[in-house]
Amino acid sequence: MNVRKIVTLIDETAREGGRPVNPAARVAVVAAVIENPWGNQPFVEDLSEGIQDNASDLGALLAPRVIEALGAPVEAYGKAAIVGLDGEIEHGSALIHTLQFGDHFRKAAEATTLLPAVEKRGRAGVTFDIPLKHKTDATIRSHHQSIEVRIPDAPHPGEIVVALAAAAQGRPQQRLAPLSSEK
């Protein structure tokens, strides 16, 4: 795994809907900008070697960092893979849609649900939204949220941005009824 940089973002919302949010709603994102392990090659039919060489190491690198950056117990989480223009969306998906990657975050967050994800291809500075859901019950509406991310100089054409996001709570001032209340 060739990491060019790691970016950490913290978002704290202190007011929402004209009212204070106390404590402030906190979301953390940690992203690694890596060299695409399948870059500079013709079409690769079997991606398993690149997955084995990179997915677990990426999960082990990012999971403790995003939890530390959050500074509170994780309640909601999500992931992203943004592939540079010379790669395939499947390259990003191959890294993040594996137990080798995701289980590091699930274990560290004491979570059981699947990690919601976004994958896309884009130029350096592309904006992407990471979806988050509750870590143990994906039907809890208050925790369905997203965070917008942009890294000005990534991904380069031969890179992939792999990111994890964690929230310490649901949406600020959420007031939707539980999903189970609908008929």
Question: What digits encode the pLDDT tens for the residues 75-131?
Answer: 999 999 999 999 999 999 999 999 999 999 999 999 999 999 999 999 999 999 999
What DSSP string describes the chain? --EEEEEEEEEEEEEETTEEEEEEEEEEEEEEEEE-TTTTSS--S--HHHHHHHHHHHHHHHHHHHHHHH-S---EEEEEEEE-TTS-HHHHHHHHSSHHHHHHHHHHHT--SPPPEEEEE--TT-EEEEEEEESS-TT-GGG-EEEEEE-TT---TTEEEEEEEEESSSSTT--PPPGGG--
CATH numeric code, 3-181 = 3.30.1330.110
Report d(CA 65, CA 63) in Å as an integer.
5
Q: Domain residue spans in the chain?
A: 3-181
CA dist., res. 156 & res. 158, Å (int): 6
Does the pLDDT at position 181 exceed 80? no
18-57, pLDDT tens digit by residue? 999 999 999 999 999 999 999 988 899 999 999 999 999 9
Averaged over 129-154, what is the pLDDT? 96
